[in-house]
C-alpha cells in the first residue's frame, strides 16, 4: 500500500524528523486559508500516488495566499497519469542550499533492510542509479540488531555531509529507521532531504510503501488506504480475497495459483491473443469465490472470450465447476468460455460442465489456442 | 538418493489440528511420509488420524518425544514467524513453511536468525517438497509425479504441478521437487537447490521454474554457467505482466524496469539453459 506525501510526512514528524509547516486541503478556499496562516511564499503540491508530479505541473510555487488559491484551483482540477487530484498539500516554501536523497528499504536479495543515500537528491533516484551509480551509497542494517548510530554517521560521511550536520542527520536516520520498522514499510523515503539556507535539515518530500500483509497489525495505517489508483474491479476483487489485475486485452482469465495465472496469460500471448486480466482465485477456491471472479471478469466490456485454467491440488475441480455453473446462471454470459480442468476431481468437474455449452481443452496450449480462436470469432 | 526429504525423514506438523494442517497431514501420511507427530499449543496429549499421530504443546516436547528431523508449518501468517523461531530453537534442522502472507520484516528477522543457527528453511508461501515414491512434505498432489532423475525447483505452486504433470505424461520422473516459494524474502533460493541437485547422484537433469521479480534467476544463471555440469531447462512466468503490479505472489513485481522475464530469459540462455515457450514444452527440452 502506498501512502501520500502528506501522510508520509505526518508520520515522519511523529518520529522527530523535521518537515515544513503545512497542511493538506481539498478545496482552493482551504488552500488559501492555509497559505494565509503560513504567511509568505508557499508550495502547492498535488497529492496523487504516482511519481513525476512536478514534471506534470502538479507542484507549483505561490508568492502569496491569493496565488495559492488560484494554483490550487488549477491543480485540483488536474489528472496526473490518469489519476484525479483530490487533495493538495500547502507547505511553507524553503530556501534550499543542498538536496540529499535518503531512504530505507527492503533488500530482498540480501534479506536485510538497506539505507540508500546520495548527495544527488531531489531527482529521480533510479535515474541516478542508472547513470551515475557511484553517487549512491548503500549500507545494510542487521534486522535483528536494528540501525546503529555509527552506521548513520557512516552514511553522512559517505555523502560528504558537512560535519556540523552529522548529529542532526543521525537523529533523522534513527527516526526514519523507527518509522520503517514500526510501520512495516517496504520503503520509507525522503527525497529531497534538504539543507536550508538557514542551516537546517528538513524532509521536504516523503514517500512510503507499507507491506499489505502487515496491515492487520497497523489498523491506523490501513485506514489511510487511497484506492484511487486501483481499478474498481480490483477493489471488488480484494473483497473476495481474489488477486486481480486489469489488462488491455480481450481474453478474460481465471486461474488458480499466481504462477500459473501469469503463465496462462503468457501462453495466450504466445498463440496470438491478448489477456484481459490477471486473476488468481487462490488455493481452495470455493464456488462463491469462483462466481465472484467470473462476475468481475465479465464486467469488462472488452472481454470476448474467457479461459478457465484450473489445476486441482488443494482446489477441487468439481467445486470450481459448481462455481462456474452458479455464476453462469447469475451472469448469463454471452461470450464463449474455454475450460480446462486437471488434477483433483477433474473428472467430476468435467461431468458437471458437460451440458454447460463450454469449449473444453486438454492441455494449457490447447486451451490457449481455443480461447484465442473464440475471441477472434467474437469480434 | 534425493535431496532434503526421503524415507528417513521424521516429520512433525506445526498447526496439525487446524483445517489445512489436518487435511494435508492426512494426505502426507497416505502418501507414505513418516509423520511422527504434530504441534498445537493447548492440545498436547490429543491424537489425530485415528490415534496414529500424537499432538504436543511445543516443538521442543515433540522433538524430545519423536526425534523429528523436519517440521512443516501450516499456521496462519501472523503466527508463522514465531513457529519458525520455535522450530529453530528446538533444534529442528529443516523447516518447511507453507503459510502465505508472512510480513516481510518478520521474514528478514527469521531468515537472518535461522542462518546464524544453520537451520534450513524452505518457503514461506511455497508448496513444499516431494520426493516421489518416498516422501511428500507439503501440498503438491502426490499422484501427478513419478520417481525419476529430474530435479525440479520452482518459485510457484500450481505452475509446478503443471510441469510435473507434463513430465509424467511423457514418462519422465522427478528425483525431488522443491517449491522455494513466491515471497520476496525466503529461506532457500534457486542456487541453494541447484547446488544440492548438482551433488545428488540420482539427479541427472534439472528443471528450474522462475518468474518475474527480483534477480534470483539471473544469479542462478551465473551459477549454472560456472558451477553446474548437469543440463538445465527452464521456464519464466510473467512475460506479459505489466510493470509495477504485484502479480499475486508478493515477490512477483517488476520494479524500476528490473526483474522482467526478458532479462531473466536472456541471462539463462546466455548460460546455456534451454528456456521453454510454455510449461508443457519444458520436459521435451531435456
What 3-state class would DSSP assign to A190?
strand
Pair type for strands A251-255 and A42-46: unpaired
Do residues B237 and B283 touch, judged by C-beta distance below 8 A?
A: no
Residue B256 confidence (pLDDT): 67
Q: How confident is the model at residue A379 (pLDDT cuts 50, 70, 90)?
A: low
pTM above 0.90, yes or no: yes
CB contact under 8 A, A364 and B144: no
pLDDT along chain B (286 residues), means of 10: 92 96 95 97 96 97 98 97 98 96 97 97 96 96 94 94 94 97 94 98 97 92 96 95 80 76 95 95 92
Reported as a single tens digit per residue, the pLDDT across B136-195 is: 999 999 999 999 999 999 999 899 999 999 999 999 999 999 999 999 999 999 999 999
Q: Which among A217, A278, A283 has the least Cβ separation from residue B247?
A: A278
- Count of H-run helices and E-run strands, chain A: 13, 19
Residues 6+ apart with CB under 8 A from A143: A111, A112, A113, B105, B108, B109, B112
A-contacting residues in B 187-206 (Cβ below 8 Å): none
Given the C-alpha cell 495505517, which residue does it identify? A221
Residues of B in contact with A368 (CB under 8 A): 278
Q: Is the pLDDT of residue A361 over 80?
A: yes
A258 touches chain B (CB under 8 A): yes
**Are A265 and B184 within 8 A, CB to CB?**
no
Residue reference for cell 488477486? A243
Q: Is residue B218 a contact partner of residue B263, using CB atoms and an 8 Å limit? A: yes
Angstrom CA distances, A190 to A29, A92, A95, A204, stand at: 29, 17, 17, 7
- Which residues of chain B have a CB within 8 Å of the CB of A181? 105
Q: Tell me how far apart the alpha carbons of residues A208 and A103 are, in angstroms, rounded to a whole number.
A: 10
In tens, the pLDDT along A56-86 reads: 999 999 999 999 999 999 999 899 988 899 9
CB contact under 8 A, A312 and B141: yes
Q: Which residue has the cell 512477483?
A: B252
pLDDT digits (tens, 9 = 90+) for A188-227: 999 999 999 999 999 999 999 999 999 999 999 999 988 7
B52 to chain A, any CB pair closer than 8 A? The answer is no
- The CA-atom distances, in angstroms, between A302 and each of A306, A312, A335, A339 are 11, 29, 11, 19
The residues, any chain, with a CB within 8 Å of residue B235's CB and separated by 6 or more, are: A263, B159, B163, B207, B209, B210, B275, B276, B278, B279, B281, B282
pLDDT at A83: 87
Distance CA B255, CA B246 (A): 10
Domain boundaries B140-285, CATH class: alpha beta
B278 in active site:
no
Q: What is the torsional sign of CA A366, A370, A371, A376? A: positive
Cis omega (within 30 of 0) on the bond before A274?
A: no
Contact B96, B73 (CB under 8 A): yes
Catalytic residue chosen out of the listed positions A15, A189, A240, A319: A189
Phi-psi category of residue A41: left, alpha or beta, with phi > 0 → left and psi -120 to 50 → alpha: beta
Check whether domain B11-122 has CATH 3.40.50.300, yes or no: no
Return the pLDDT at A344: 79
Q: Distance between CA atoms of A258 and B246, rounded to whole angstroms?
A: 10
* Domain B11-122 matches domain B140-285 at the CATH topology level: yes
A247: contact with B, CB 8 A cutoff: yes
Look at domain A232-378 and name its CATH class: alpha beta
Top residue of A128, A263, A273, A293 to mutate, by most chain B CBs within 10 Å, is A263
Q: How far is A107 from chain B (nearest CA, A)?
A: 9
- The residue among B19, B138, B158, B184 with the most chain A CBs within 10 A of its CB, best to mutate, is B158
B280 touches chain A (CB under 8 A): yes
Q: What is the ipTM of this complex?
A: 0.90
Residues in chain A: 379
pLDDT at A284: 64
Q: Does domain A21-92 have CATH number 3.30.1490.20?
A: yes
Residues of chain A in contact with residue B252, where contact means CB-CB under 8 angstroms, are 258-259, 262
**Beta bridge mates, A307:** A253, A338
CB proximity list for B98: less than 8 A, separation 6 or greater: B20, B24, B72, B73, B74, B123, B124, B125, B126, B127, B128, B138, B139
Residue window 214-233, chain A: list those with CB within 8 Å of chain B. 214, 216-217
Domain residues of chain A, as ranges?
Answer: 21-92, 96-222, 232-378
Residue range A99-155, pLDDT digits in tens: 999 999 999 989 999 999 999 887 777 777 778 888 899 999 999 999 999 999 999
Cβ(A221)–Cβ(A210) under 8 Å?
yes
The b/e string for B167-181 (b: 16+ C-beta within 10 A; e otherwise) is: bbeeebbbbbbbbbb
Which grid coordinates belong to A45? 503540491
| A356/A336 Cα distance (integer angstroms) | 11
In this prediction, residue A81 carries a pLDDT of 85
A6 assigned to active site: no
Fold of A96-222: D-amino Acid Aminotransferase; Chain A, domain 1 (3.30.470)
Q: Are B40 and B18 within 8 A, CB to CB?
A: yes
Binary contact (B139, A313; C-beta < 8 A): yes
In this complex, do B161 and A313 lie within 8 Å of one another by their Cβ atoms? yes
Identify the band that residue A267 occupies on the pLDDT scale cut at 50, 70 and 90.
very high
DSSP string covering A54-118, please? TTTT-EEEESSHHHHHHHHHHHHT-EETTEEP--EEEEE---EEEEEEEEEEEETTTTEEEEEEE
Relative orientation angle of helices A28-38 and A65-76, to the nearest 10 degrees: 150
Chain A contact for B103, CB < 8 A?
yes
Supply angle C-alpha A192, A193, A194, rounded to 5.
100
* Cα radius of gyration rounded to whole Å, chain B: 18
Alpha carbon distance A356, B237 (integer Å): 31
* Residue extents of the structural domains in chain B: 11-122, 140-285
Q: CB of A110 within 8 Å of any CB in chain B?
A: no
- Residue A284: Cβ-neighbour burial (10 angstroms; 0-12, 13-18, 19+): middle
Residue B157 to residue A216, Cβ atoms within 8 A: no
Question: In this structure, what are the phi and psi dihedrals at residue A309, rounded to the nearest 5 degrees?
Answer: -125, 105
Find the catalytic residue in A101, A180, A240, A319.
Answer: A101
B104 interfacial to chain A (CB closer than 8 Å): yes
Q: What is the mean pLDDT of chain A?
A: 92
Q: How far, CA to CA in Å, does B239 sit from each of A148, B235, B263?
A: 41, 10, 10
Contact check, Cβ <8 Å, A265/B240: yes
Look at A311 and B161 and tell me if their CB atoms are within 8 Å: yes
Strand partners, B153: B178, B208
Q: Which residues pair with A162 in a beta bridge?
A: none
Amino acid at each position: 500500500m502506498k501512502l501520500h506525501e502528506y501522510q508520509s510526512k505526518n508520520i515522519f514528524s511523529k518520529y522527530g524528523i523535521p518537515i515544513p509547516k503545512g497542511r493538506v486541503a481539498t478545496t482552493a478556499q482551504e488552500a488559501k486559508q492555509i497559505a494565509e496562516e503560513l504567511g509568505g511564499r508557499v508550495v502547492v503540491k498535488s497529492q496523487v500516488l504516482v511519481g513525476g508530479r512536478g514534471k506534470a505541473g502538479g507542484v507549483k510555487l505561490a508568492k502569496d495566499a491569493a496565488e495559492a488559491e488560484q494554483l490550487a484551483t488549477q491543480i485540483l482540477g488536474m489528472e496526473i497519469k490518469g489519476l484525479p487530484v483530490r487533495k493538495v498539500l500547502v507547505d511553507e516554501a524553503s530556501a534550499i542550499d543542498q538536496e540529499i536523497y535518503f531512504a530505507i528499504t527492503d533488500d530482498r536479495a540480501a534479506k536485510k533492510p538497506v539505507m540508500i543515500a546520495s548527495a544527488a537528491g531531489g531527482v529521480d533516484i533510479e535515474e541516478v542509479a542508472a547513470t551515475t551509480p557511484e553517487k549512491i551509497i548503500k549500507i545494510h542494517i542487521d534486522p535483528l540488531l536494528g540501525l546503529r548510530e555509527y552506521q548513520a554517521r557512516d552514511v553522512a560521511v559517505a555523502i560528504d555531509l558537512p560535519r556540523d550536520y552529522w548529529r542532526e542527520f543521525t537523529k533523522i536516520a534513527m527516526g526514519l529507521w523507527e518509522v520503517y520498522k514500526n510501520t512495516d514499510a517496504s520503503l520509507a523515503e525522503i527525497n529531497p532531504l534538504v539543507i536550508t539556507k538557514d542551516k537546517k535539515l528538513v524532509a521536504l518530500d516523503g514517500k512510503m510503501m507499507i507491506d499489505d500483509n502487515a496491515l492487520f497489525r497497523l489498523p491506523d495505517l490501513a485506514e489511510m488506504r487511497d484506492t484511487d489508483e486501483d481499478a474498481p474491479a480490483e477493489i471488488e476483487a480484494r473483497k473476495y480475497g481474489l488477486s486481480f489485475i486489469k489488462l488491455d486485452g480481450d481474453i478474460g482469465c481465471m486461474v488458480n495459483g499466481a504462477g500459473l495465472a501469469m503463465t496462462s496469460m503468457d501462453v495466450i500471448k504466445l498463440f496470438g491473443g491478448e489477456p484481459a486480466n490477471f486473476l488468481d482465485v487462490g488455493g481452495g477456491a470455493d464456488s462463491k469465490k469462483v462466481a465472484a471472479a467470473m462476475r468481475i471478469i465479465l464486467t469488462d466490456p472488452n472481454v470476448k472470450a474467457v479461459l478457465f485454467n484450473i489445476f486441482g491440488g488443494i482446489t477441487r475441480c468439481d467445486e470450481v465447476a459448481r462455481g462456474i455453473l452458479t455464476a453462469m446462471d447469475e451472469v448469463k454470459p454471452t461470450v464463449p468460455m474455454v475450460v480446462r480442468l486437471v488434477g483433483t476431481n477433474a473428472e467430476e468437474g468435467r461431468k458437471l460442465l458437460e451440458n454447460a455449452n463450454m469449449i473444453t481443452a486438454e492441455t494449457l496450449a490447447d486451451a490457449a489456442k481455443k480461447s484465442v480462436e473464440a475471441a477472434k470469432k467474437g469480434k | 538418493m534425493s535431496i532434503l526429504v526421503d524415507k528417513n525423514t521424521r516429520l512433525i506438523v506445526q498447526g496439525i489440528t487446524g483445517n489445512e494442517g489436518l487435511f494435508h497431514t492426512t494426505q502426507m501420511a497416505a502418501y507414505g511420509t513418516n509423520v511422527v507427530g504434530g504441534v498445537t499449543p493447548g492440545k498436547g496429549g490429543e491424537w489425530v488420524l485415528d490415534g496414529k499421530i500424537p499432538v504436543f504443546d511445543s516443538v521442543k516436547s515433540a522433538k524430545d518425544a519423536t526425534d523429528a528431523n523436519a517440521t512443516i508449518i501450516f499456521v496462519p501468517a501472523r503466527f508463522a514467524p514465531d513457529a519458525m523461531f520455535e522450530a529453530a530453537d528446538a533444534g529442528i534442522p529443516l523447516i518447511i513453511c507453507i503459510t502465505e502472507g508472512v510480513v516481510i520484516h518478520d521474514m528478514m528477522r527469521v531468515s537472518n536468525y535461522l542462518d546464524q543457527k544453520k537451520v534450513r528453511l524452505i518457503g514461506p508461501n511455497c508448496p513444499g517438497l516431494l520426493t516421489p515414491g518416498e516422501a511428500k512434505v507439503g501440498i503438491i498432489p502426490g499422484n501427478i509425479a513419478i520417481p525419476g532423475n529430474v530435479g525440479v525447483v520452482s518459485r510457484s505452486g500450481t505452475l509446478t504441478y503443471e510441469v510435473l504433470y507434463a513430465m509424467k505424461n511423457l514418462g519422465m520422473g522427478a528425483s525431488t521437487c522443491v517449491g522455494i516459494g513466491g515471497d520476496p524474502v525466503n529461506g532457500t533460493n534457486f542456487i541453494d537447490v541447484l547446488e544440492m541437485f548438482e551433488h545428488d547422484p540420482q539427479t541427472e537433469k534439472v528443471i528450474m521454474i522462475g518468474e518475474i521479480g527480483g534477480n534470483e534467476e539471473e544469479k542462478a544463471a551465473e551459477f549454472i554457467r560456472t558451477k553446474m555440469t548437469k543440463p538445465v531447462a527452464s521456464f519464466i512466468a510473467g512475460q506479459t505482466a505489466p510493470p509495477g503490479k504485484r502479480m499475486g505472489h508478493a515477490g512477483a513485481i517488476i520494479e524500476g524496469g528490473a526483474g522482467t522475464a526478458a532479462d531473466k530469459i536472456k541471462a539463462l540462455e546466455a548460460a546455456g539453459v534451454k528456456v521453454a515457450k510454455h510449461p508443457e514444452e519444458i520436459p521435451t527440452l531435456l
